[in-house]
Structure formats: C-alpha cells, structure tokens
C-alpha cells in the first residue's frame, strides 16, 4: 500500500480521497444506528437500468429524480441524506444547475449510499491511491501522470482515471458561476419591464429601479461566470446604462447622459453586440441634436448605421439621421435618410437585438411617423409634417398601451401646433396645445419644455398681436414647467 493511502478502520480496504470518513461506504452502512429512522434508498432501486445509466453519465440531476421517484422520497429527504440544499437539488433535477464539484459529487453519492459497483471510477475505493495532480500552468512543460507517492503510472487504466479526474477539476473551475441562468432571466425581465414602462410611466420611480438593477449587474460582473453568461451580463449592464442615458437626457442633465453612454459603449464592446453599439451611437446623436453641437449628430448616425444592420434599429438610425440633418438645414441628406427609413421598414428585425426588451428600446410605426413629421416640420413643409404627426398621434391613441409614449405624442402635437400657427390657424393650434398644457409635470420631459418655448416665440410674432386667442396661448406657454432635475424624489 502506498505510504499516504488511507485504509478503512474496519475492513482495511483503501479509502477514496473523496471519502472523508474513517470507514468505507460498505462498513459505514453496516454501522449506521437505527437505520429505520433515517431515509434511505432501497436496494431494488439500484437495479433499474435508468438509474445506473444516469449515474454512469454523471447526470446527477436525472439520477436524483429517478431515485426519489422509485424510493418514494421527498426532496427534503434527499437534501438530508446528501447534505445539499433542497433549493440546489430542485434546480439540479430541473436541469438548471450541474453537479461538477468533486467533493459535492462524493457527498451526493455517499449520502444516498450508492453501491460501489455503480460508483464512477474516481470514487471507487480501489482507486484511492490516485491523487489528481495540479493542472500545469500555461507555458510550463507537460509532466507525466504519477501516483501520490511519486511512483510512475504505468497502468493505462490508472492513467485514464487520473486524466479524467484532472479534466473534472478543470471543468469545475471553468463552469463555476456566481449567477444562475434563472437569475439572468430575471434580470432580463426586469430591464424589459423598465423599458416597457419608460414610455408611459413617471420617470422618477423608474430611475431608482434602473439604478438598483444596474448596481446588481455591476456586482455580478465583478465575480466569476462562464463566458456565455459574462457576455449576457455585459449586454444587460450596457442596456441599463443606455436607459439611464435616456433618463438623464430627459431630465436635462446632458453631462450625466454622456457619461452613461460612454459606459454603455464600453460594455457593448465587451459584449460584442452590434445592436447595442448602434443604439449607443444613435442615442449619442439624439443628445447632440438637442445640444449646441448639432452637426456632430450626423457623424454619430453615420457611425451607428454601420452597426444597425436590419429592421427597427436601422429604421431608428435613419429617422434620427433625417431629423438631425433637417435641424442643421441639410435637406438632401434628410430626404435621403427618409428613403433609407422606408427601405429599412421592409426588413425583418433581429430577434436578438435590443428590441426584444420592448418599450423605449423599440421603434414602432407611431414613433416612425412622429420622426418623419418632425423632419418635415424642420424642413418647413408644415402640411406634410402635420399629416405624419396626426398619423403618429392616431397610432399612439389606438395602439397598445405599453407602446404609448407620452413624450413623443406630446412632441408630435407640438409639430401640429407649429404647422397651424404658421398657417395662421390659431384656434386649431389651441386644440392641440391644450393636452400638452394639461400633462402632469412629472411627465414633461426636458425636450418638451424647449419645444413649447419655440411655440411661445412663434406666438409673439406681430401678426398675432391683435388676436385674443393668440395672446392667451402665448401666456399659457410662457414659463412652461418641466421635470425638475434637482427634485429629491428618487427614493419614492
């Protein structure tokens, strides 16, 4: 017997390195006191071929379920026998978790008193002399497999067993994760809910919820998980920062919005996700469009279009480009972008893109009509602008509630107001302006305040000086109050 091998205190056979007891499993079973009070697996269960094949395949979730069903045991009984938590066993049997830790595998097999003949090779008592060697570091020369005593392994069966143990050790390290797939799905559902609520719910509670979600994602990314889960966490974290950028912009805090976008862009690179890249660049164009650096908006849309391959994301990018071009007076570029928008409407949307989150991260037909109308309004074609703005409002009012954007709908109404004031139809302008004046303050995004001020300036033109309705509308638009960035309502 090798010098460091351990032996059973009763029968003297070699003990597996994964057996922490001083007796082999057979002797331990013989010495168990009052076994009738303890849950156990009847001997007949081990004769079922399905149970045997599940253990041989290391499918311990299936093995646990089969054994419980045939032994008429509860999950709580299995948890008591194996020392594993009932929650872990539930996920194991459902296929949501895997049992790869060798110590836990040994505890599981010993706890249910698996017969020696069914034990996988690394856990059989006769192979106890083999000790898995540390995995070699990158760049170091390969070494021959040896026994724990330093003796050269010459038996191919022992060599294969040693290699299997090392492979299992490596798999254990690479598959460890601080997040389950179930938790990932929960985080994705939370971002979906926030994105959906964003377009029609007050901003402050959503902002607080967004911060909580982002912080949880950042915390998980500081731990370890397989590459597939890491990429998904980067995507979700980047999406949360993208939503925070929109929220900061709607609050009128451009510097914070830019900082959130920079982070979202970095996370998009780590996730290697083109759709997130396109949304980040497109949102940067939106921020630039409403700033004093309007010409840079076109540069951002040109960058975004390289990543916006098909569908709604490409429609969004073209729409932003059209309006940004119109805002700086580039008519030809604006009209070309509108043609690209029409072409992109005919394409299928990528199911793995950000549109799967819904709400703010989609670009439905109502929003498309609003952007087209806004482009024509900026180009001075107010009749066409009113047609598209009216179509947008109708689609918002008759469409799904979760897609009704109070901000875009109000801005579309302002395009109609502008068109009617330009045409001298003051009464008609007042009808469209009234819902905007009645909008609750917590839903008045910063861009809405800028647009209302533009309407106020139009109403101050000399031609409306003798119009009582014009003066009343001008008075109503002056000092239009929007969301206060400094409000201390984030904890509500």
The closest alpha carbon to 304, from 293, 294, 315, belongs to 315
Q: Is the pLDDT of residue 294 over 60?
A: yes
What one-character-per-residue DSSP string does 472-492 give? Answer: HHHHHHTT-----TT---TT-
The closest alpha carbon to 324, from 366, 357, 296, belongs to 296
Q: In whole angstroms, how far apart are CA 230 and each of 15, 76, 98, 175, 267?
A: 39, 33, 18, 12, 11
pLDDT on residue 127: 36
- Give one word for 176, left, alpha or beta, with left for phi > 0 and alpha for psi -120 to 50: beta
Segment 160-180 shows an average pLDDT of 78
Which tokens sit at 188? Answer: 């994705």
What 3-state DSSP class applies to 152?
strand
Dihedral sign computed on CA atoms, order 126, 131, 132, 133: negative
| Alpha-carbon gap, residue 5 to 24, rounded angstroms | 13
Read off the pLDDT band of 337 (50, 70, 90): very high
| Alpha-carbon gap, residue 5 to 121, rounded angstroms | 17
CB 353 within 8 Å of CB 313:
yes
pLDDT on residue 275: 97
CB 287 within 8 Å of CB 340:
no
Which residue has better confidence, 465 or 281?
281
pLDDT above 70 covers what percent of the chain?
84
Q: Is the pLDDT of residue 260 over 90?
A: yes
pLDDT on residue 146: 45
- Give one word for 322, left, alpha or beta, with left for phi > 0 and alpha for psi -120 to 50: alpha
Q: Is the pLDDT of residue 331 over 90?
A: yes
CB 314 within 8 Å of CB 347:
yes
pLDDT above 90 covers what percent of the chain?
36
Q: Is the pLDDT of residue 482 over 70?
A: no
Which neighbouring-strand residues pair with 152? 146
Which residue has better confidence, 402 or 449?
449
Query: Does an H or E element contain 82, and which?
Result: helix 75-82
Q: Is the pLDDT of residue 54 over 50?
A: yes
CB 459 within 8 Å of CB 477:
yes
How many structural domains does the chain have? 1
In a domain, 260, yes or no: no
Q: Which domain holds residue 100?
A: 25-135+144-175
Residues 6+ apart with CB under 8 A from 398: none
pLDDT on residue 100: 72
pLDDT on residue 79: 87
Provide the b/e sequence for 283-299 (b: ≥16 CB within 10 Å): bbbbbbbbeeebebbbe
Residues 6+ apart with CB under 8 A from 478: 456
Query: Does an H or E element contain 362, and which?
Result: none
DSSP state of 464: G
CB 9 within 8 Å of CB 16:
no
| Alpha-carbon gap, residue 350 to 430, rounded angstroms | 42
What 3-state DSSP class applies to 146?
strand
In a domain, 34, yes or no: yes
In a domain, 364, yes or no: no
pTM as predicted: 0.62
Question: Each residue of 151-167: pLDDT tens digit?
Answer: 455 567 777 877 777 78
Report the range of poorest mean pLDDT among 72-76, 97-101, 193-197, 319-323.
Answer: 97-101
Which residue has better confidence, 155 or 433?
433
What 3-state DSSP class applies to 14?
strand
Read off the pLDDT band of 23 (50, 70, 90): low
In a domain, 84, yes or no: yes
Which neighbouring-strand residues pair with 146? 152
Which tokens sit at 150? Answer: 């330093």
| Alpha-carbon gap, residue 226 to 159, rounded angstroms | 29
Dihedral sign computed on CA atoms, order 150, 156, 162, 166: positive
Read off the pLDDT band of 17 (50, 70, 90): low
Read off the pLDDT band of 80 (50, 70, 90): confident
In a domain, 157, yes or no: yes
Q: Is the pLDDT of residue 24 over 80?
A: no
In a domain, 78, yes or no: yes
Provide the b/e sequence for 200-237 (b: ≥16 CB within 10 Å): bbbbbbbbebbeebbebbeebbeeebeeebbebbbbbb
pLDDT on residue 484: 58
In a domain, 369, yes or no: no
On the 0-12 / 13-18 / 19+ scale of CB atoms within 10 A, 311 is buried
Report the range of poorest mean pLDDT among 169-178, 224-233, 471-480.
Answer: 169-178
Most confident of 145-154, 330-339, 437-446, 463-472: 330-339
Question: Each residue of 358-391: pLDDT tens digit?
Answer: 989 999 999 999 999 999 989 989 889 999 999 9
Segment 258-264 shows an average pLDDT of 95
In a domain, 92, yes or no: yes
Read off the pLDDT band of 262 (50, 70, 90): very high
Report the range of poorest mean pLDDT among 24-28, 152-156, 278-282, 372-376.
Answer: 152-156
Opening angle at CA 179, ends 175 and 183, nearest 5: 135
Q: What is the mean pLDDT of the chain?
A: 82
Report the range of poorest mean pLDDT among 23-32, 87-96, 174-183, 313-322.
Answer: 23-32
Report the range of poorest mean pLDDT among 7-21, 116-130, 320-334, 456-470.
Answer: 116-130
Segment 116-128 shows an average pLDDT of 64
């Amino acid at each position: 017997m090798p010098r460091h091998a351990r032996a059973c205190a009763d029968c003297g056979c070699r003990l597996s390195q994964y057996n922490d007891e001083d007796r082999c499993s057979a002797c331990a079973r013989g010495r168990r006191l009052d076994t009738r009070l303890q849950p156990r697996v009847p001997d007949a269960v081990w004769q079922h071929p399905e149970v045997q094949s599940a253990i041989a395949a290391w499918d311990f979730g299936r093995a646990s379920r089969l054994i419980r069903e045939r032994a008429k045991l509860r999950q709580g009984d299995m948890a008591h026998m194996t020392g594993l938590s009932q929650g872990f066993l539930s996920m194991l049997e459902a296929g949501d978790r895997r049992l790869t830790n060798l110590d836990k595998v040994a505890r599981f097999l010993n706890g249910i008193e698996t017969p020696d003949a069914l034990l996988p090779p690394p856990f059989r008592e006769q192979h106890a002399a083999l000790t898995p060697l540390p995995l070699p570091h990158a760049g170091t020369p390969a070494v021959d497999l040896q026994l724990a005593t330093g003796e050269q392994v010459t038996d191919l069966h022992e060599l294969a067993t040693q290699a299997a143990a090392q492979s299992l050790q490596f798999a254990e390290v690479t598959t460890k994760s601080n997040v389950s797939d179930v938790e990932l799905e929960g985080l994705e559902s939370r971002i979906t809910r926030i994105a959906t609520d964003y377009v029609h719910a007050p901003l402050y509670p959503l902002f607080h919820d967004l911060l909580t979600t982002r912080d949880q994602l950042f915390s998980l990314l500081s731990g370890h998980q397989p590459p597939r889960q890491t990429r998904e966490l980067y995507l979700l974290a980047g999406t949360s920062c993208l939503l925070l950028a929109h929220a900061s912009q709607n609050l009128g805090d451009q510097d914070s919005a830019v900082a959130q976008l920079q982070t979202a862009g970095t996370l998009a690179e780590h996730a290697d996700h083109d759709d997130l890249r396109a949304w980040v660049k497109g949102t940067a164009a939106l921020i630039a469009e409403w700033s004093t650096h309007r010409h840079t908006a076109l540069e951002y849309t040109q960058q975004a279009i390289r990543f916006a391959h098909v569908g709604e994301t490409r429609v969004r990018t073209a729409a932003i480009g059209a309006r940004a071009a119109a805002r700086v007076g580039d008519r030809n570029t604006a009209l070309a972008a509108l043609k690209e928008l029409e072409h992109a409407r005919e394409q299928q949307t990528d199911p793995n893109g950000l549109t799967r989150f819904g709400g703010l991260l989609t670009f439905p037909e109502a929003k498309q009509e609003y952007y087209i109308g806004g482009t024509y309004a900026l180009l001075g074609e107010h009749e066409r602008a009113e047609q598209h703005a009216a179509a947008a409002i109708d689609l918002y009012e008759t469409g799904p509630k979760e897609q009704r954007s109070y901000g875009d709908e109000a801005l579309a109404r302002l395009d109609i107001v502008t068109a009617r004031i330009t045409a001298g139809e003051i009464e008609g302008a007042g009808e469209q302006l009234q819902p905007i004046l009645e909008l609750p303050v917590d839903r008045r995004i910063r861009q809405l305040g800028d647009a209302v001020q533009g309407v106020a300036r139009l109403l101050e033109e000399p031609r409306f000086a003798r119009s009582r309705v014009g003066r009343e509308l001008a008075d109503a638009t002056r000092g239009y109050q929007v969301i206060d960035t400094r409000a201390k309502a984030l904890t509500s």
